[in-house]
Amino acid sequence: MQNEPNSIEFDPHSQMIQFIWSDDDLTLAFQPHQLRLHCPCAFCRAQRVRQPFFVVQEDITVKAINSQRYGVQICFSDGHDKGIFPWSYLKEIA
């Protein structure tokens, strides 16, 4: 699954983000905390290797979601926006 989802739905109240591939009958749902924990940027990857526990605040929220051709950029409330989550990676961490 490398293709862009048909739609991305974000509920600001619950902070639930849903990626919907209606062509493939697939929906992946995430909370911001889960995505932030798995941020694929080089900085966070290095942090996770160095530290046994990569800590993310439980109440982290999403400020913006920018769909790119190959993945989605998430801007988090802690100011971090470096990670672009490839579509296939979302499936791995779901």
| Residue ranges binding Zn ion (CB under 5 A) | 39, 41, 44, 82-83
Rounded to a whole number of angstroms, the minimum distance from the CB of residue 8 to Zn ion is: 19
Q: Where are the alpha helices (DSSP H) in 1-94?
A: 32-37, 42-50, 87-93
| CB closer to Zn ion out of 44 and 60 | 44
| CB closer to Zn ion out of 35 and 39 | 39
| CB closer to Zn ion out of 14 and 51 | 51
How many helices and strands (H and E) does the chain possess?
Answer: 3, 6
| CB closer to Zn ion out of 47 and 88 | 47
Is 50 in contact with 66 (CB distance < 8 Å)? no
Rounded to a whole number of angstroms, the minimum distance from the CB of residue 45 to Zn ion is: 8
Please state, in angstroms and as integers, the Cα–Cα distance from residue 60 to each residue in 7, 22, 52, following that order: 23, 28, 20
Amino acid type, 44: C
Rounded to a whole number of angstroms, the minimum distance from the CB of residue 81 to Zn ion is: 8
Rounded to a whole number of angstroms, the minimum distance from the CB of residue 36 to Zn ion is: 8
Radius of gyration of the chain (CA): 13
